[in-house]
Amino acid sequence: MSFDHIMYGCEDGIAVITFNRPKALNALNAALLKEFDAALDNVESDPAVRVLVLTGAGDKAFVAGADINEINQLGPLGAKRFARRGAEGITRLTRLAVPVIAAVNGFALGGGTEMALACDFIYAAQSARFGLPEINLGIIPGFGGTQRLPRLIGPARARELIYTGRMIEADEALRLGIVNRVCADGELMDAVRETARLIAAKGRVALRAAKQAINTGLNVDLESGLALENDAFALCLASPDAQEGTGAFLEKRPAVFSGPLDDD
């Protein structure tokens, strides 16, 4: 599939999806979401991909939300379909075998914040602005915001942001725990790539096991989560990467993880 509304590329194991409708502040319309889904197919089918990074084209926005022109034309059933498709596409990020980093530059509002919240973690430029302003449009977040934000920062803080629709700056997002790190505007992608390279050098099987254990474990009770971790740990030991990692330590040399390439 060729892409008009996003850009997709992969170099040295780091795939990058760039939302690319800068004139509309990279707002998510149906066509873009379809391309996003196809790009995630690429990520899933390419064993060379070790980390995925999401970012926005231009210097103003990551994603300024779902496309309000399209929302304005929807009836309830169309809205349900649009919201479900978008939410499912975004939720795919949590199920990918590889970690996903959101590199948030400029506005990440509504669906933009929701997209970033579904990533494994977020780095933000100083200019980044987060918020769930749907309440100002007479609607509520529809791409997972009412579920992921309370789980991440606690229900009381999430309620305040969702009920007021208030936009927050990168430093407040850092204090609230939405963002892991705030970078100078021109340094965001370098910082993201540096962390992505560190992750890309790790074992593919262990990364996938860690991601699944964390994400599934967050939705179950502690005892079930610990049982899940125990199984995932045992599976890691069956992978060549565990032999390589432990062997390299004992031989006092750096580990080189090649991992099975057909493990999906």
Q: How many residues bind ligand CO8 (CB under 6 A)?
A: 25
| Interacting span for ligand CO8 (CB under 6 A) from 71-79, 95-103, 210-218, 225-233 | 71-79
Sequence letter at residue 109: L
Contact 144, 84 (CB under 8 A): no
Name which of 144, 130, 47, 141 is nearest 92 in CA terms: 144
CA dihedral 237, 241, 244, 247 (to 10 degrees): -20
Q: Which of 8, 19, 62, 107 binds ligand CO8 (CB under 6 A)?
A: 107
CB of 108 vs ligand CO8, minimal distance in Å: 10
CB 54 within 8 A of CB 7: no
Contact between residue 85 and residue 111 where contact means Cβ atoms under 8 Å apart: no
Residue from 11, 44, 70, 134 carrying the catalytic annotation: 134
Catalytic member of 70, 114, 169, 251: 114
Enumerate residues 12-51 that contact ligand CO8 by CB under 6 A.
24-25, 27
Q: What is the DSSP letter of 196?
A: H
Residue among 7, 10, 31, 68 that touches ligand CO8 (CB under 6 A): 68
Q: Does residue 70 have an active-site annotation?
A: no
CA dihedral 221, 227, 230, 231 (to 10 degrees): -120
- By beta-carbon proximity to ligand CO8, the closer residue of 129 and 211 is 129
Nearer to ligand CO8, 75 or 254 (CB): 75
Using the contact rule CB under 6 A, the part of the chain among 41-49, 92-100, 136-144, 172-180 near ligand CO8 is 136-144
CA atoms within 13 A on the CB side of 156: 0
Q: Give the residue with the Cβ less far from ligand CO8, 8 or 107.
A: 107
**Chain-centroid distance, C-alpha 215:** 12
Selected range binding ligand CO8 among 9-17, 61-69, 214-222, 231-239, rule: CB under 6 A: 61-69
Choose one: 35-43, 131-139, 152-160, 250-258; the region binding ligand CO8 (CB under 6 A): 131-139
Using CB positions, name the residue nearest to ligand CO8: 110
**How near is the Cβ of 200 to ligand CO8 at its closest, in Å?**
31
Tokens of 249: 């330590």
Q: Judged by CB under 6 A, does residue 83 bind ligand CO8?
A: yes
Distances (CA, A) of 109 to 3, 25, 31, 135, 169: 23, 10, 19, 12, 11
CB-based contact 167:131 (threshold 8 Å):
yes
Compare residues 86 and 259 and give the one whose CB is closer to ligand CO8.
86
Residue 167, token pair as written in the block: 């936009």
Is 187 annotated in the active site? no
**Active-site residue list:** 114, 134
